[in-house]
Structure 1
Amino acid sequence: MGLGKTVQTLAYIASEKQSSPVLVVAPLVTLTNWQREIERFMKKE
């Protein structure tokens, strides 16, 4: 917990520059964390 796994995964997804959707399989309790990290780190520029 708190080791940056979500952010590292988002960085990898962003570096791949895929145009197709990405499916994340994770426990339901982490959903709000994923949403928060996506909003924080994946802002469209």
Structure 2
Amino acid sequence: MLSTKIVGVNAWLVNPMPYAVKLEYGWSKQAPAGMVRLTLAEISSHYGR
């Protein structure tokens, strides 16, 4: 978890595997709601845009 807000820093989340999009859109029983979109929404709500 980030303890401070860092302004002007970009973070790239990358998964080059061919199944990454399927996992993000419901093909996983462990994370049926996806992973990246949920995490980004949580970060945005905590730290803002």
Tell me the TM-score normalized by structure 1: 0.37
Q: Which has the higher helix share?
A: 1
Greater C-alpha radius of gyration: 2
Tell me the TM-score normalized by structure 2: 0.36
